[in-house]
Amino acid sequence: MTTETKLIRFDWAMKNLLRDKANFDILEGFLSAILRQDVSVIKILESESNVPDFDLKLNRVDILIQDQQQRYVIIEIQNCHISAYFYLERILFGTSKVIVDNVKLGEDYSEISKVVSISILYFNLGLGKDYIYYGNTEFRGWHDNQSPIFQRRELDKTLEKFKSQDIFPEYYLINVERFADEMKTDLDEWIYLFKHATLPPHCQAKNLDKARGKLDILKMSPEERHRYDLYLMALVNERDKIETAHNEGWQGGLREGENVKARKIAQKMFKAGIDIETIATMTDLSPDIIQQEGK
C-alpha cells in the first residue's frame, strides 16, 4: 500500500518557497486548475503581508502574481475566522487597491488590468453547501435578462468585442473545511493538498507531482524544519487563544444575560410584595441587590 507523502502547509510554502522563480510551476498548476486555462506566472509583486518576520502574520498569508495575460492574481490564505469580519468588503478593497496602485496618474484607462482574487479559507464563510464559490460583475438587460456584448475600435481599426466580466474583478472563495475529499476535478486535488498538507497517489492535476517533490517536509534542512515546527505550534496556540476568547466571551455574555433577567424578575417580585428572603432564594441575588432593584 502506498503511503502519503507529508507536505509543507501551503501558506508556509507561499510565504517562503513559492516566491522563488524555480517554484513558479506549483503556483501555475494551481492557477491553471482554478482558472481552467493554462497560466504562466511572470512575476511576484509586493503585497501587504510581505513583512520580514513571518510569525507576525499567522492568520493571513497573501501573494500577488502577474501572469502572461498581464492579469493581477491575489491568492490569500485565511486561517482564522476572527480576522475575517467584513471579509467581502476586505477583498473588494484589495482588488480595488491593486487596480489603483498599478495605474500611473495620467495613464489611459486601457492600462487597467484584470484582477482575480482567490481566497483559501480554513473556516466556513457564510452559509451554504458548496466548497467553491465564484463571483463577478455582470450586466444584464432590465427586461430581457441578456448580457450585452460591448465593443470598441482599437488603434489598428479592428473592432474588439467583450463582456463586462472581461474587465471587472473576479472572486473565488474556497471553503477548505467543506471539502469532502472526493476528487472529481484537478482543482479538487489541490484543495486536498490545502486541507491535509499531503497528496494521495496517482494525482492528475498539472504540476501537482512537482509540488509533491518540492514541498516534501523530509527535504527541509534541520533549521527550516525547526522554524516550520515553531510556526505550526504558534498557529495552533493562536487558534486556541481565539477559540478560548470566543467561548469566554459567549459564556460571559450568557452569564450577564442571566443576571439581567434575574434582576428584572426580582424587581417584579419585590413590587408584588414578595419578601426579600424568598426572592433571594428564587433568583440567587443578594438581598442588597434586590433592595436596589426594588427602588
Whose CA is closest to 41, among 30, 54, 56, 51? 30
At residue 59, the pLDDT reads 66
Is the pLDDT score of 51 beyond 60? no
Radius of gyration of the chain (CA): 27
Indicate the SS3 state at residue 218: helix
Res 188 pLDDT > 90:
yes
Instruction: Give the pairing of strands 132-135 and 150-153.
Output: unpaired
- Specify the range with the lowest mean pLDDT, choosing from 54-58, 121-125, 182-186: 54-58
d(CA 136, CA 47): 22
What was the pLDDT predicted at 22?
94
- Of 29-33, 153-157, 272-276, the poorest mean pLDDT is in 272-276
- The whole-model pTM stands at 0.77
Nearest-10 Cα torsion for 258, 261, 262, 263:
130
> Which residues on neighbouring strands pair with residue 216, listed in sequence order?
7
Q: What is the mean pLDDT of residues 157-161?
A: 87
